[in-house]
Amino acid sequence: MDPNADEALVTLHNAGGDEATISLHGAQLLSWKAAGREQIYWSPLSRPAADRAVRGGVPVCFPQFGERGPLPRHGLVRTRRWEMASFPAPHARIAEGRWQFDGLPATLGWPHPFRLVLVVRLGPRWLELALEAHNTGPQPLDFTAALHTYLAVDDVRQASLTGLQGLAYEDALDGNTLKTEKAPALRVDGEIDRVYRGVPPALELRDGNGLRRLHQQGFADAVVWNPGLPRDARFADMPPQDWTRMLCIEAAAIENPVSLQPGAVWRGRQRIELPDADGFEPAS
């Protein structure tokens, strides 16, 4: 990698031949190749640049999810350069890399100092992103956060997501009205933007290429988002027809913001598994 480039990329390789690529720009995972295919959507029109978010991959949203506060949408860290804190050993059974961001009031214009650490672990047919937030300041730190995962699907209209039935969700397309999910398997055939509360530890996404199981810990909520056929300039960074090729399933802490005391650490993670793929070994 060119260590001076804002978007400098690092690729993790594990012994089973899986790969994951992460950019220093936002510590954003851009690609995960496993079981012979790309598992993550990344827009071919997106270009990482200082102060610009990248459409696709796994943006880290912190310390504000969406527009639920005074900060830019999805917070302060997805558009900043992170540092690589430890490099992966080549071709280990589980490849691991660690990225770090120090949020300083002088550079962010936000009064609460913090440190974020993102650990990416690439196992046999699974990928885990673990986020740590450290309150390095003298006051309590309140935040919302998400791992905004864009999953690649062959056609979202043929996909189904199970595990949400019976959960309360906020429907952003209906003024954040609180509703209850009735569908045993959620199907997406256009725009959707929901925050599901109190999600179970595993959701299952099925599409023409098989099953992906999504585990989350530390994050109580899950966002399900797809823009449908994009209607405004905000999505100029994505080919319009690509809405069928992606579905965001985001591990999130939104409904109950996290309150961290000085010196305390919060941890949340999302793991995506391909349990039916050859070579799958569950995480230990």
Which residues contribute to the site for ligand BG6 (CB under 6 A)? 53, 66, 73-74, 148, 172, 193, 223, 225, 234, 250
Q: Is the Cα dihedral 163, 166, 172, 173 positive or negative?
A: positive
CB of 32 vs ligand BG6, minimal distance in Å:
19
Please report how close the Cβ of residue 261 comes to ligand BG6 at its closest, in angstroms.
28
Catalytic residue list contains 128: no
Alpha carbon separation from 188 to 140, 170, 205 (Å, rounded): 39, 16, 12
Look up residue 62 and give its two tokens. Answer: 């912190």
Furthest C-alpha separation in the chain: 51
Alpha helices in 59-158 (DSSP H): 105-108
User: Which entry of 250, 255, 273, 281 is annotated as an active-site residue?
Assistant: 250
Task: Tell me how far, at minimum, the Cβ of 74 lies from ligand BG6, in Å.
Answer: 5
250 is catalytic: yes
Residue with CB nearest ligand BG6? 225
Smaller CB separation from ligand BG6, 30 or 274:
30
CB of 235 to ligand BG6, least distance (A): 7
Single-letter amino acid code for the residue at 262: P
Integer angstrom CA distances of residue 52 from 49, 80, 126, 142, 217: 5, 8, 29, 24, 29
Spatial distance between the Cα atoms of 190 and 207, rounded to a whole number of angstroms? 16
Per DSSP, the chain holds a count of helices (H) and strands (E) of 1, 21
Among residues 148, 191, 215, 273, which one is catalytic? 148
Which residue lies nearer to ligand BG6 by CB, 167 or 172?
172
Active site residues: 148, 250
